[in-house]
Chain A
Amino acid sequence: MNQQRLQERVRQLREQQSTNPCRVLVCCSSPCLSAGAGAVKSALEAVAAEHSGRVSVEVTATGCLGPCSRGPLVTVRRPGHADAVYERMTPELAGKILAGHLTETPPADNLLPADLPFLARQTRIVLENCGRIDPENLDHYLAADGYAALARALHDFSPEGVCAAVEQSGLRGRGGGGYPTGLKWQLLRKAAGQRKFVVANGDEGDPGAFMDRALMESDPHRIIEGMAIAGYATGAAQGYVYVRGEYPMAARRMHKAIRDAERAGLLGMRILDSPFSFRIDVRLGAGAFVCGEETALMASIMGRRGQPVPRPPYPAEHGLWGEPTVINNVETFGNIPPIIRNGPEQLAAIGTGRSRGTKIFALCGEVIENGLIEVPMGTTLREIVFAIGGGIPGGAAFKAAQTGGPSGGCIAAQHLDASMDYENLQALGSIMGSGGLIIMSEKTCMVDVARFFMDFCMDESCGKCSPCRAGTVQMYRFLDRVSNGSATERGLVHLEELCRLMKETSLCGLGASAPNPVLSTLRYFRDEYLAHIREHRCPAGVCRMTEVPVTLLADELMQRIAAGRLDGEAF
């Protein structure tokens, strides 16, 4: 296929779709499937078959639409009508609704209002196709302007031009670090090496995060297109998508998308009849959070133990098999096609300060609407929690939001109006991270939260360096003592010291950022720690406080001895 033929095919596909009298989109990503989307789809297909003599109805399984807590979701699309989105579908209800649409009296049961803030207040650029196309169907992606950016890059841009455009857009890495992507690509482009590699990081190990899974499951071709553009821009001929082992569906869809793109001449040898060739392979993780760290990830791709190695040398000089390599998050790659297709100005126009474009967040925890949202950088936390998320269930008060998973921190209620961007979040003691956003109400105990994340880091520490391997265990034990009532204030001093030690001496980001949840909860909720320690009380009523400090026992014993009451009773 070349560019002209691609355009011709897109035109045909669009025509076909626009003449289709009724299209039904069933969200079939992991959350909706687990809520029963499979049966809903079968029911819809049965109804469509019943009516097939009269009208043709196309039932499509799509990726994630976003409001996951309302699943299974069904969208009905008819020319001349606005999209109608239905929530909490059952097979019976879905059948009834489709039949209604086909007989011109669509029922309003479970219909989501067209101006539902959760959907209306988002700016969907990376997620533009999610929930709108069948991720396993290349034609759907093509009809949505898919691979137009790759064609344009190969046809109209020099590799340097692509890097410059990415740089101009102000795009920064969405995997956590926020390193400027254009700059990273320039480094790789200029690096001397026989072979170069492009790696997409889809490891996503943070608890509570599912942005990357949703993107891989809902729009795999977009990631492939972004990677191919990166390959062209940097001179790489081989790419790897590293998918977390717990995401079999994402891996399968990425796999299928790669095969389909290869068959259509959009990937592989001489892409779109240009001299550029690029192959992509999928690599599966084996369940280690640390394998999201870029050096550990590369070790894992090469079949070695997934353990970080010190940087420098950075992957851009010494990456996979010692060759220059660029690693980006899958969401970062998802941002690339629109930059080339619509120009870097579009992305640069959104956002605030040095944080440009949009960010996908996985909104979860104690908030009414759980799900996937894409908002401009710089949106306030208040807007996200109360406007988009609909507030806290049961009218409870907002207490804190946790961003960035185990590497991030908590933001307290006084910072509800803080802008969510890289610099500001860092200033507040948290990080943007990959986009996990856990909302907590007054019913949450912050010590318990810190303990949960430390438990995670302790489990996931690779064990290479001593401060992280042994430090996480000691920190966890102390936090556990705070929540069972047996901690002392001296221990708190040791805890804070350990936090600084790990931050300054750990080998990789896991150990260096593991203290963040502790430090940020101490920063905003020190009272709560002290209430546990001094008053033996959990203000949120979560911790059971069944123990007392060993030293207290000794103190009490001394008092009894002094009082001459060593009668052994009531101990």
Chain B
Amino acid sequence: MSVVTLYINDRLVSGRVGQTLLKVARENGIEIPTLCYLEGLEPWGGCRLCMVEVEGQGKLQAACLTEAREGLAVHTDSERLLAWRRMIVELLLAERNHTCAVCVVNGHCELQALAAKLGVDHVRYDYLHPALAMDVSQERFGLDHNRCILCTRCVRTCSEIEGACTWAISGRGITSRVTADLDRPWGKSTTCTDCGKCVQMCPTGALYKKGATVGEMVREKTHLQQVMERRQRSGK
């Protein structure tokens, strides 16, 4: 297996050929925040939180998509990058309704944790607070559009892992919505297998198990890894 060596934050690190910057960084204990990225799914490149500086390249690069190459010098935590990350988190918090105090994943939310870590203690932008409906037509799970950050983890999980392709995005821009079966209530979906994988992958409180009240919805973080490992063992 060929190895590449490169500098991340002035530290010499090595990774395997074909690995992304994000993967090499994480394997070397260097944290780069992400929301749309999930190990095991195709990278999406949508949240733009993993943008890093690569010396000699004018533009910032998304670490989840950029291949690690020999001799690169990468910076992941410059003042500028931190400022951009904070702003992106603020934009996400302002975009819909993220009232943590009454949220099912309060305390277990990736967006909330990231905001805390980045020191986002207030939001400079207008809270848009669109009045979005909830979809509770499914028997076991609920979908609260107000908490959705459109990372499409559920969409990718459903098509790449479960193969059901129930979820998709409808609309565009600020009016984008996750929809089941070309815009049917989730409970009326004929493709959903009721497997609940999407619910485990959601970073926020948008997808949740029914019956959970504030802070009770805890996700099985290693769910995807377990599925992948079992599949590998059974040779599928």
Q: Please give the residue numbers on chain A whose beta carbons come within 8 Å of chain B beta carbons, in ascending order.
A: 288, 290, 305, 309-310, 458-467, 469-474, 477, 494, 497-498, 501, 504-507
Contact = CB atoms under 8 A, between A and B. Distances in A.
B176 A507 contact: no
Given A459-B173, A465-B48, A494-B124, A504 B87 contact: no
Contact of A461 (B92, B124, B149, B174): B174
28 contacts: A288-B172, A290-B172, A305-B169, A310-B62, A458-B174, A459-B173, A460-B173, A463-B171, A463-B172, A463-B174, A463-B175, A464-B44, A465-B45, A466-B48, A466-B92, A466-B95, A469-B95, A470-B94, A471-B91, A472-B174, A473-B128, A473-B173, A505-B48, A505-B51, A505-B60, A505-B84, A505-B88, A506-B48
B236 interface: no
A345 to B, nearest CB: 34
B118 to A, nearest CB: 14
B204 to A, nearest CB: 13
B84 A504 contact: yes
Contact of B46 (A305, A464, A473): A464
B173 A507 contact: no
Interface in B26-46: 44-46
Given A460-B173, A461-B173, A465-B48, A501 B95 contact: no
Nearest to B59: A504
A463 B169 CA distance: 9
Contacts of B45: 309-310, 464-465, 507
B18 to A, nearest CB: 14
Contacts, number: 92
B47 interface: yes
B88 to A, nearest CB: 5
Contacts of A465: 45-48
Given A310-B62, A466-B92, A473-B173, 14 more contacts: A305-B168, A463-B169, A465-B48, A466-B149, A469-B95, A469-B173, A469-B176, A470-B91, A470-B92, A474-B126, A477-B126, A498-B87, A504-B84, A505-B51
A466 B174 contact: no
Interface string B121-160: 0001110100000000000000000000110000000000
Contacts of B87: 467, 497-498, 501
B125 A494 contact: yes
Given A465-B45, A466-B47, A505-B88, A472 B126 contact: no
Contacts of B94: 470, 474
B172 A462 contact: yes
A295 to B, nearest CB: 11
Interface of B: 44-48, 51, 59-60, 62, 65, 80, 83-84, 87-88, 91-92, 94-95, 124-126, 128, 149-150, 168-169, 171-176
Q: Which 4 A-B pairs have the closest CB atoms?
A: A463-B176, A470-B91, A461-B173, A505-B48
Nearest to B61: A310
A290 B176 CA distance: 15
Nearest to B62: A310
A462 B60 CA distance: 21
A507 B149 CA distance: 16
A359 B95 CA distance: 41
Nearest to B125: A474
Nearest to A504: B60
Contacts of B47: 465-466
Contacts of A472: 173-174
A504 B46 contact: no
Nearest to B60: A504
Contacts of B84: 501, 504-505
Contacts of A470: 91-92, 94-95, 125, 174
A402 B45 CA distance: 32
A423 to B, nearest CB: 16
B128 A467 contact: no
Contacts of A463: 150, 169, 171-176
- Of listed A461, A472, A505, residue having the most chain B CB within 10 A: A505
Nearest to B95: A470
- Of listed A458, A463, A507, residue having the most chain B CB within 10 A: A463
Contacts of A507: 45-46, 48, 62
A512 to B, nearest CB: 9
Nearest to B152: A464
Contacts of B176: 463, 469
Given A504-B60, A506-B48, A467 B150 contact: no
Contact of B91 (A461, A464, A466): A466
A343 B142 CA distance: 66
Contacts of B48: 465-467, 505-507
Nearest to B96: A470
Nearest to B48: A505
A441 to B, nearest CB: 32
Contacts of B44: 464
Contacts of B80: 504
A389 B45 CA distance: 45
A507 B49 CA distance: 11
B13 to A, nearest CB: 22
Contacts of B169: 305, 463
